[in-house]
Chains A and B, each alone.
Chain A
Amino acid sequence: MSQQTPDPQLAVEVIALTREYTTRSFFGTVSRVTRALDGIDLSVKTGELFGLIGPNGAGKTTTVKILTTLLTQTSGEAYILGLDVRKDLYEIRRRIGIVFGGERGLYNRVSAIDNLRYFSDLYGVDSVVARDRIPQLLKAVGLADRADERVEKYSRGMKQRLHIAKALVHDPELLVLDEPTIGLDPGGARDIRNMIREMQKQGKTILLTTHYMFEAEELCQRVAVISKGKIVALDTPSALKKLVRDISVIELRTYGVTGDYVEAIKRLPNVVRVIADLDSEVQTIRIQSPLGADLLSQVTSALPSDAKIIDRTIKEPTLEDAYLRLVEE
């Protein structure tokens, strides 16, 4: 099914989008076809902050690449600001800003200001305007006093802020942020999230992909969960959390616990799921169960003698709990 006219109210409109990757053998015959996207539908309203979450390999990056005109779809339609991603490439690119995750994407051997001047020219920003806009952007992202330094000397957080400035240099209407806080320390990540909120307040539409559920929950008005190339849920974070309203979450902070304890808890009746982070000195174990507080005594008695529970809380399920149910089922 293909729609001839895109909806003018929507900044992003995706209809039955499919993307297949074909690997060929040495002789050129097709050896494997992988379906990275399997008929996804989603839409983002103008001015909305929309999240796309999913495990690695789910299709987030493929979706982002298609929407940002870096990859063509195998079938289906995708419209950005009413323009077809297949036909109106350059016009779309002039009106969107993209932040790719990670450290790549900047010219490290020149300064931040040189990077911004370059991209500003590439995106056709009037040079008189750019002369004002670039210093303003650098100030807005907190890089004004290091603007003349080579980017290779920047910390990861600083580079990410420069990425944001670069994405904004041509005043785009839509911003696509692909895991913008990945690898940042908490302070740096918080700064980026504040900037994202600020950009939305300026009326920009934002499509955000992230691995951090709390981030999606905190920032996004609606969230799509993608798993194995399909959208498995699309709603507001609170509506998605209702999917897991049948469970409570016991959150334990522990010392000295091993994988054996986690396995023991998993085997307890009425335990739906256990998510454990045992690598830090103070470990975190989240246990999903409909029993809630009633499970506490069993959880405590299974604890080995040389381990310790520092803290235990009963929590409402979060978006992460809903997400895990959605992608694992």
Chain B
Amino acid sequence: MGELSELTPGKKTEGYLARRGQVLKACIVLTAKLFFADPQWIIPSIIAPFIFTLVAFFLFGGEASGSSFLLYLVLGSGLMGMWGTTIYGSSNSIGFDRWNGTMESTLAAPVPLSWIALGRVLFNTFEGVINALFILVIGLAWFQVGFGVVNPGLFFLASVSTFLSLSAFGLLMCTVILLSRKGGFITNSMEIPVYIATGTMFPVSILPMVALPFSFLLAPTWGIEAIRLSALPGYTGLTTSYWTDLALLAVETLAYLAMAFVLFKRVESYAKRNGTLDEY
């Protein structure tokens, strides 16, 4: 063994942004490495939405006409894939530490828990985008339809914005997971209701009135609308315009972020008051 006396002194990073950036980078890298070390859970995130799509395809009548319709279907499936990853992956970003036994180490770090969670959520949601692309490619190949979107630039913007809003939502769901041992089950049970409420496979306009406020409060609802408006020719959906959709998306996303950061502080102080956060 070497000598502990020969260690280079541990100089620290200075500056608030530099330190936060360092934490984000560390968490993204670790989450990526853990993912590639054991990506099993990814399969349900791809398989489930893809199966839902196949079911929808059969329900839609087999050899349905119109490539834009098939694009609609496949887009919906991709969106479900992204949502699924947010629900299972992102919201479990910190919850994972609980059963892994690293919760104490995570809580003991000299950085707010919300930043650690954010780094992990960003990777997980990004991974959801890859899922969505994967589903998209398989779906387009299976149904042999070309990927002709109406406005690629706006489509890209809407997709990125939806990705960010899902990250913010995932961050918020982290706090649910942390505040309750059953948090994981709460978020998992949200999966299908959220597919319905955000209009992944059918527009929210067909939902009963009582469900609409829930739909409108979910930022990705607007993202999905914007994605469809920019991708599908002749799509009407809700009466809002593309830019209104993006504006609503932005406002709600920022609201999620704000709530998440506030709730994380509550989570940390709850953990310290009760000493129970590290117990699975």
Contact = CB atoms under 8 A, between A and B. Distances in A.
Contacts of B108: 68-70, 93, 98
B16 to A, nearest CB: 11
Contacts of B25: 121
Interface in B7-25: 7-13, 19, 22-23, 25
Nearest to B272: A72
A307 interface: no
B44 interface: no
Interface stretch (A2-10, A128-136, A259-267, A291-299): A128-136
B12 A126 contact: yes
A212 interface: no
B182 interface: no
Nearest to A97: B108
A198 B3 contact: yes
Interface stretch (B55-63, B80-88, B109-117, B220-228): B109-117
Given A70-B272, A93-B110, A119 B7 contact: no
A118 B4 contact: no
Interface stretch (B97-105, B147-155, B245-253): B97-105
Interface residues of A, number: 57
B262 to A, nearest CB: 17
B110 A140 contact: no
Contact of B30 (A72, A89, A94, A107): A107
Contact of B19 (A105, A124, A141, A171): A124
Nearest to A65: B275
B29 A118 contact: yes
Nearest to A170: B10
Interface in A78-114: 89-94, 98, 100, 103-110, 114
Given A105-B102, A129-B10, A136 B110 contact: no
Contacts of B26: 117-118, 121-122
B110 A90 contact: yes
A153 B188 CA distance: 32
A217 to B, nearest CB: 23
A13 B7 CA distance: 29
A258 interface: no
Given A94-B110, A122-B116, A70 B275 contact: yes
Contacts of B9: 129, 171
Interface stretch (B31-39, B156-164, B171-179, B236-244): B31-39
Contacts of A103: 101
Nearest to A152: B37
A169 to B, nearest CB: 7
Q: How large is the interface on B (under 10, 10 to 19, 20 to 34, 35 or more residues)?
A: 35 or more
B77 to A, nearest CB: 30
A140 B13 contact: no
Contacts of A104: 100-102, 104
Given A94-B12, A136-B7, A140-B2, A121 B110 contact: no
Given A94-B110, A124-B22, A139-B1, A109 B272 contact: no
Contacts of A136: 2, 6-8
Contacts of B13: 124-127
Nearest to B37: A109
Interface in A17-56: 21
Interchain residue pairs A-B with the least CB separation, the first 4: A104-B101, A171-B10, A121-B26, A93-B110
29 contacts: A62-B275, A65-B275, A70-B271, A71-B272, A89-B110, A94-B12, A103-B101, A107-B100, A108-B100, A109-B34, A109-B37, A110-B37, A118-B26, A119-B105, A122-B109, A123-B12, A124-B12, A124-B111, A125-B11, A126-B10, A126-B11, A126-B12, A127-B13, A129-B9, A129-B10, A129-B11, A133-B10, A144-B2, A201-B5
Given A129-B11, A144-B2, A169-B10, 11 more contacts: A107-B102, A109-B34, A109-B37, A110-B33, A125-B10, A126-B12, A127-B13, A129-B10, A133-B7, A140-B6, A168-B4
